[in-house]
């Protein structure tokens, strides 16, 4: 679905290896494709995951809200 593509692909939220119910999840946004910003809120049984990124001239701003009692692995894109 479009919503899944947005939060999983563009904003980069996905279940980690041991992440039933998003208790452990990954934040690995896909930057590119002419998209300059993305934002999502994903409601899980542990609380809201909020992810946002934005291109700003020669840098990218990232913001991630991780619910209490959960963990996130953050994988940021590498400059080429």
Provide mean pLDDT across the span 5-18.
Answer: 76
What tokens appear for 22 in the block? Answer: 């998003």
pLDDT of residue 31: 85
pLDDT at 47 over 70: yes
pLDDT at 75 over 60: yes
Provide mean pLDDT across the span 40-66.
Answer: 91
Between 33 and 66, name the one with better pLDDT. Answer: 66
DSSP the chain: -HHHIIIIIIS-EEE-TT-GGGSEEEE-----TT--EEEEEEEETTEEEEEEEEEETTEEEEEEE--TT-EEEE-PPPP-
pLDDT of residue 21: 80
Provide mean pLDDT across the span 38-54.
Answer: 92
């Amino acid at each position: 679905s479009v919503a899944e593509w947005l939060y999983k692909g563009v904003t980069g939220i996905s279940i980690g290896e041991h992440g039933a119910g998003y208790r452990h999840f990954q934040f690995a946004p896909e930057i590119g494709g002419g998209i300059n910003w993305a934002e999502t809120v994903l409601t899980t049984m542990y609380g809201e995951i909020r992810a946002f990124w934005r291109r700003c001239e020669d840098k990218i701003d990232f913001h991630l809200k991780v619910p209490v009692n959960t963990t996130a692995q953050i994988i940021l894109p590498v400059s080429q």
